[in-house]
A and B are shown apart, each in its own frame.
Chain A
Amino acid sequence: MIVRAIEQLGAGTLYHVRDLGRMAGFLGYTLAGCFKRPFRLGELVRQLRQIGVNSTPLILFIGLFTGMVLGLQGYYTLSKVGMEGTLGMLVSLSLIRELGPVLTALMVTGRAGSAMCAELGIMRNSEQFDALECMAIDPFRYLISPKFLATIIALPILTTMFDLIGIFGGYLSGVVLLGVNPGAYMNGIEVKVLNEDISLGIYKSLAFGLLVVWICTGRGYFVQQIKNAGFGAEGVSRVTTQAVVYTSIAVLLWNYLITAVFI
């Protein structure tokens, strides 16, 4: 009984170490693929549209309502201590430093990351990667690196949009609906939001972009090597779910770590 438990623990540890190694190698090949000629600019633009432009309506919608809720809740809390005038600062700093990068990354994971994972998983199962390799076409340069670059470029832009529309949402609920002084709201943003806050948000969104595209494409690429995932369509669906869960956890953990380091 005990021996069996130790065996299982060992086997599980070995599997995860191997999996991490595979994923590290995958990241290395993906980075190398970004610099291999011929560059696939057309594919990069197509991926930017897919991951960035097509995610914009969702990001704007979520950003607006997040800002509005922050405005309402912030007003409720601040009014208890008579500090409604600092609502602009509260909304903008919360969005720029924390909520913008995290929520944007989670939305992009759900919308584009899952799609990338499923696409690559299906390609793996139908031997399309083998076909590319047999034609001496590097699948990383051809398929994965454009997705990687597009996600890393798109995420900071989407995050900035999220922040801006969120601040506008906070203005709507705080100033227009609840009557906070508009000058105080804008002044709080202008005076209290520093370059470091904006930089932190951008660093976070870059790091999250890397996590989203790395985990989602990596899981799809290795769909047949993932333990207990099953085969065929079921395997792809399970691995896609796993990719979304792992990415979400990784984003939240990294968010805490980055905040702890920079605060």
Chain B
Amino acid sequence: MKPAIRFVDVVKKFGDQVVLDHVNVEFLAGKTTVIAGGSGQGKSVSLKLILGLMAPDSGQILVDGCDVGKLSRKELDQVRAKFGVLFQGSALLDSMTVWENVALPLRERTKIKDEELISRVEGALAQFDLTGHGDKFPAQLSGGMKKRVGLARATMLKPDIVLFDEPTTGLDPQITMDIYRLFFRTQKEFGFTSIIVSHDIPKVFNLADQVVILNDGTMTVFEHPEDIQHSEDPNIMEFVEQTMGDVYSSSEELE
């Protein structure tokens, strides 16, 4: 299967700390990849490298064959146009209403007429259960609602690739399931490549087509989430013991 994103021999350091040590990994097009690992292992850094918000110390990050580290600002913007991103804290523009936040990518990146813009934004608000909340500001929203607004904004332009940085951090179990259901539904509808960085290991593995475990600067790829539990790598075994136990939620929960 064709990779949407490839890490080729990527090294990223912060001072003496090596976060990514000659990493080679492929993220498959149209599939969901979960990046898991302990705190400070470089999960969010990996996303920032993909987006060109940070540059690797060496190696290449190829998005549809383009090395994001070597692109001009204009070319980088063209590559970024393929992405939708749901940030850990949602990163909604707090001086704008929910409606304006969702409309922002359409307003800035397309030349559609006002009537179409209104109908698309209203449609997105309805799709993400936000009807009636368009006039609120981000500070007036709950954590789950902020995530829904962030997801609506991220998918507004029907991106090819959606990145999720800790999509359920700080949410209660019920809202977490709501977010995963919404993700499941949206991914099914749009068919985008998705990369999820998450601590919420057992739940999020049900969404994954492949799992990448990030540990001590290396990325280990598992084709099936179940393979992780059978790994004989002591680091992975320790990670499984600490984070997963034998808890798995059923796939039906997400339907």
Contact = CB atoms under 8 A, between A and B. Distances in A.
Interface of A: 122-123, 126-128, 130-138, 142
B109 interface: yes
A137 B89 contact: no
B80 A133 contact: yes
B141 interface: no
Contacts of A133: 51, 53, 80
A136 B77 contact: yes
User: Residue among B77, B91, B92, B104 with the most chain A CB within 10 A?
Assistant: B91
Interface in B184-207: none
B85 to A, nearest CB: 4
A138 B109 CA distance: 11
B87 interface: yes
Contacts of B51: 130, 133-134
Given A130-B53, A131-B87, A136 B109 contact: yes
A29 to B, nearest CB: 9
User: Residue among B48, B53, B88, B153 with the most chain A CB within 10 A?
Assistant: B53
User: Residue among A122, A128, A131, A132 with the most chain B CB within 10 A?
Assistant: A131
User: Residue among A122, A132, A133, A138 with the most chain B CB within 10 A?
Assistant: A133
Closest 4 CB pairs of A and B: A131-B91, A127-B91, A136-B77, A134-B85
A122 B94 CA distance: 10
A135 B91 contact: no
Interface of B: 48, 51, 53, 77-78, 80-81, 83, 85, 87-89, 91-94, 104-105, 108-109, 153
Contact of A134 (B83, B88, B94): B83
Nearest to B138: A126
Contacts, number: 51
Contact of A127 (B80, B81, B88): B88
Contacts of A138: 77
Contact of B108 (A122, A127, A130, A135): A135
A130 B92 CA distance: 11
B251 to A, nearest CB: 30
26 contacts: A123-B93, A126-B91, A126-B94, A127-B88, A127-B91, A128-B91, A128-B92, A128-B93, A128-B94, A130-B48, A130-B53, A130-B85, A130-B87, A130-B91, A131-B87, A131-B91, A131-B92, A131-B93, A133-B80, A134-B80, A135-B108, A135-B153, A136-B77, A137-B104, A137-B108, A138-B77
Nearest to A32: B73
A122 to B, nearest CB: 8
Nearest to A137: B108
B103 to A, nearest CB: 12
A174 to B, nearest CB: 46
Contacts of B94: 122-123, 126, 128
Nearest to B105: A135
B81 A131 contact: no
B91 A136 contact: no
A170 B118 CA distance: 56
Given A133-B53, A135-B104, A135-B109, A127 B77 contact: no
Given A126-B94, A133-B80, 7 more contacts: A122-B94, A127-B87, A131-B85, A134-B51, A135-B104, A136-B80, A138-B77
Contacts of B105: 135, 137
Contacts of A130: 48, 51, 53, 85, 87, 91
A122 B89 CA distance: 13
A142 B87 contact: no
Contacts of A131: 85, 87, 91-93
Contacts of B85: 130-131, 134
Nearest to B73: A138
